[in-house]
Structure 1
Amino acid sequence: MDSLTQIVLGAAVGEAVLGKKVGNKAMLYGAIAGTIPDLDIFASFFTDTVTALEIHRGFTHSIVFSVIFAFVFGWLVSRYETYKEFKGWAWLFFWAFVTHPILDAHTTWGTQLFWPLDLRLAFKTIFVIDPLYTVPFLVFLLLAMFQKRTSKKRQLYNRMGLILSTSYLACTILLKWLAFNQFEKALESQNISYNKLDTRPSPLNTILWNANVETDDAFLLGSYSFFDTQPITFETYQKNHDVIDKYRSLDKMQRMIYISQGWFTITEKDDQIYFNDLRFGLLNTEPNSENFVFKYEIQEKPNTKEIYFIESPKGSRDAKKLMSDLWVRVKGN
């Protein structure tokens, strides 16, 4: 999830664990702990694109990390804070750390919660930014913050924020199931034979859902809003995987295919080859668009047999266009 959401979650968890004893400091340290797992994003400054993608939401989003660094930070804070109980601080950091990846596991990218096992949990029930999850949670956290640490209202407000946000997260599982059934029915009614069906919410909401459908030689992309009155339609994108046959044996290509979980197409434009990760969809809703959220140019290293990937830049104009398209599409077809 986005940084603000993780800060709010961490602060609320910190308050639940230690708020009665240390007041707003529990929120402060919880908020800090809620952001620490995402420091893995700085790997992109020190390594190549593929390795940075592998590192993201890996070790720092694991139970192992939560346990080890809960002891480390708990010990450090207990050394200089007025409240000296190591166990209390360690418990705060553990829960603030571990709830971060548990929430992230509900997004499309997912997390390696059980690192070092090579298993990435991605339930794909909520977008990384969802105001319906974050805003009510933030409001209750602020209400709690301005109450005395021993006040029953403080505990009530914080508890309500946790209950509402968790309940909404649970509802997204039901909404995903309903959307999945609609896509299944559409594929059946259109006599489309397919190998796999994958669904996820569109940005900022859980009303409009997107689907990736794999067939033998292509992927079908479709969308469904709970306000739709017309049948679901699908756009076809050829896999074109044969274009990268010459690169398939290379380590970086194999790793990139594994990261995408096989949900990718290859396009060629102006003598350049692009690797398109379909798991995150498109930056607009135009028919046959190839403006994918995550699109990587494949380049060969001079005088070697190696390749590297360069992510295509995204600008504010792309974001504005996407928001405009989504607002129209959410209201139904």
Structure 2
Amino acid sequence: MGKENKTYLTEFILLGLSSDHQTQILLFVVFLIVYLLTVFGNLLLILLSHIDSRLHTPMYFFLKNLSFTDLCFSTTIVPKMLLHFLVKRKTISFAGCSVQMFFFLIMGCTESSLLAVMSYDRYVAVCKPLHYSTIMTQRVCVLLVIGSWASGVFVSIVDTSFTLCLPYQGQNVIDHYFCEPPALLKLASEETYKAEMAIFAMGVIILLGPVSLILFSYCNIISTVIQIRSGQGRLKIFSTCGSHFIVVIFFYGSTIFTYMQPNSKKMNKGDKVISVFYSVITSMMNPFIYSLRNKDVKEAFKKVIRR
């Protein structure tokens, strides 16, 4: 499979994060713990948001959807990665690679949209509190979530189509730990300029677009908070919005670095480490950042424990 020939590839070999056996064992333990925390944290947040009536608000409705997205996001990548830490031949079929890439992009792009929606929700809550209930109605919230998923599916279809329509012959070794467009384009047998430009354009839509909305929301939030006389009121708003902003920095910072490069074929080994942040770490961080910094979630958890 590794030799140059005219045969289209049926499988790929993933190099993973390390070729050293001892390091792989250590990484297996680390990522297993991370994955278990991701599953536990996100399932717990979904459960609490569902059973506690105090959490039946737009903010927690979006948070519940974010947790579901994170759960699927991590599950698309980590189980296969954990398996590859334990086996010598780290292969994935062409079909399996295609499916993994398709769902990874759906979850990642949906999360990008949801984070922007959540920043807009905080903007309305802080800057237009008297109109919050009339603006963020149940219908609007549902439409915003549907729109987030629709944008994720659209971008995933475009990126996956442009990536997979290229011929893959000869070299089948992917210098990555999962199937991602920038890593896969390096193996294409033909010119990848159109695919790179399509991915870059989708990045502008699904990354720079939401980031612009988030920056707009937080500029207005900060401006409003500065005018609040109550120190306790300021602290409460900064606590709620600060947790969201931490997630935003980790997720968008690492994703933009990877996908907003005009020439995706220049992806290097350092990019694998950066991709760990948006593909694995953020999904684990989200529920704990929101729950540890949120009084309502803590109270809901205590209520469940007392039962």
* TM-score tier (shorter): 0.3 to 0.5
| Larger helix fraction of residues | 2
TM-score (norm 1): 0.33
TM-score (norm 2): 0.35
| Larger strand fraction of residues | 1
User: Which protein, 1 or 2, shows the higher relative CO under an 8 Å CA cutoff with sep ≥ 6?
Assistant: 2
Q: Which has the larger radius of gyration?
A: 1
